[in-house]
Structure 1
Amino acid sequence: MERRVREAVRYLGYRGNTADDRTLQMIEDAFDALQSAAGPKAICRIFDMEQKQDGTVIIGNMNIKSESLGRNLKGCSKVVLFGATLGAGVDRLIARTSVTDMAQAVVLQACAAAMLEEFCDEKQEEIGRDIEREGLWLRPRFSPGYGDFDIRFQEPLMRMLDCAKTIGLTMTENYMMTPTKSVTAVIGASPVKERCPVQGCEVCEKRDCEYRR
């Protein structure tokens, strides 16, 4: 079973790979439909960062007080601000399907989440290859809303990336992103060669890692 199918099964709430044949067929159909509807785009920009003794992380004009983000960025000298979206076509596909087939719409939601994660991983691998030429290695993505990293930092992060103009990503007053299948994140860049897995802490077996989310 390929990785994105396994991820979709996980998003649907199955333990392990216990989805039945009918569900697996719905997943395959959903990925086929999403492939036609999606218009994935990504943007990234590199910033210097500073960590104060009180735990405050300073990135551009953002002063972020977050223990979990600070732990993830410990030892980093730069950060990559990152944004990605699957595009408005995915939202329209899910909305249309929910009118006629709610079960398939639920599967589409899970598959879109898996597709977005896969796209972000691919982009992070590209960024990682480029930044390693400068002697820096990436940490896992860390998004506003994780731990005590306040969701309100979504707004300045998107502004610093000019997301509306570069990838068509905007945000509501309640910090919901439009299109909905989108993500923003901070990615630490460290001179220490940790080689964190792109997929993040969830797949890493190093449970005692000081950078763990």
Structure 2
Amino acid sequence: MIADLKEAARYLGYGANPPDDKTMGEMLEIIKELEESAKGKWTYGSYDLEFSEDCIRLAGTGIELTGRNIRRILSNAKTAYIMACTIGPQAERIIQLKKLQSATAGMIADACASALVEGYADLCQKEIEGNLKPNQTLTFRFAPGYGDLPLDTNKMILEELKAEKRIGIHLTETMLMTPRKSIVAILGILDGETEKRNDHFCGNESCDDCSLKDDCTSRRQGSATDEQT
């Protein structure tokens, strides 16, 4: 199974609590249908980073990364990967069919599809990790629109990766991706001693003063603080 059931339950609002048996049964059934029908695709590339006072540029491209959140995450990186991943239009068709059955089935399908695209993004990240040198590691995936990194950064990344031609991701004028269950992300490469401090995926020493602590992908993946509680 590519989709993480715990992740799907989190999208449904269960948090750390397990869903009831009926909901879990529906989740398993829908995830099976999605994984049989929706095909994950991804593309990525690596770029040297050029730091200036107002942004971080990906060398040889027009991509500019702005905001203090992405600067903090990439502060110890000299190179970064950009990636795009999707599970295609079939997932949306399944979600719409489930919505016709019931609002609950539609919500479950939407959550399961979100968990499935995250699962494929994990597979993409593992493939990227296979390209790293033995002393290198990655920061966690950081997406445009998260924190203070502008959502329209997606346009530059998708164009650079030729994502529409390669994997079928289209960006609308309102900056929405279609297929809807698609992911764009940036991952910094950390060399040798420049590791994630205290095992925080973002490189922070503490979550306390972070503006993203209430909805943090890094905390979802796990950190030293989480493991001790």
- 2:55 aligns with 56
Aligned-residue CA RMSD in angstroms? 2.0
TM-score with structure 1 length normalisation?
0.88
- 1:65 aligns with 66
* 1:3 CA displacement: 7.6
1:21 aligns with 2:21: yes
- 2:133 aligns with 132
Equivalences for residues 24-173 of structure 1 within 5 A: 24-52=24-52, 54-59=53-58, 60-133=61-134, 135-173=135-173
Task: Write the distance in 2 (CA, Å) between the matches of 1:136 and 1:50.
Answer: 19
Q: Report the count of equivalent residues.
A: 204
* Structure 1, 68-77 or 194-203: larger mean CA deviation: 194-203
Structure 2: runs of 5 or more not aligned: 203-216
Task: Write the distance in 1 (CA, Å) between the matches of 2:101 and 2:44.
Answer: 38
* 1:4 CA displacement: 0.9
* 1:117 CA displacement: 1.0
SS at match of 1:151: coil
* 1:8 CA displacement: 1.0
- 1:203 aligns with 221
Report 1 or 2 for greater relative contact order, CA contacts < 8 Å, sequence distance ≥ 6.
1
Task: Write the distance in 1 (CA, Å) between the matches of 2:101 and 2:220.
Answer: 35
* 1:205 CA displacement: 2.5
Distance 1:179 1:159, change over 3 A: same
How high is the sequence identity, in percent, across the aligned residues? 25
* 1:197 CA displacement: 5.6
Task: Write the distance in 2 (CA, Å) between the matches of 1:203 and 1:88.
Answer: 27
* 1:33 CA displacement: 1.0
Which structure 1 residue ranges, 4+ long, deviate > 2 Å from structure 2? 192-207
* 1:55 CA displacement: 4.7
Contact 1:38 1:90 in 2 (8 A): yes
Task: Write the distance in 2 (CA, Å) between the matches of 1:47 and 1:95.
Answer: 38
Give, as a single letter, the amino acid of the residue that structure 2 aligns with 1:165. Answer: K
* Structure 1, 9-18 or 85-94: larger mean CA deviation: 9-18
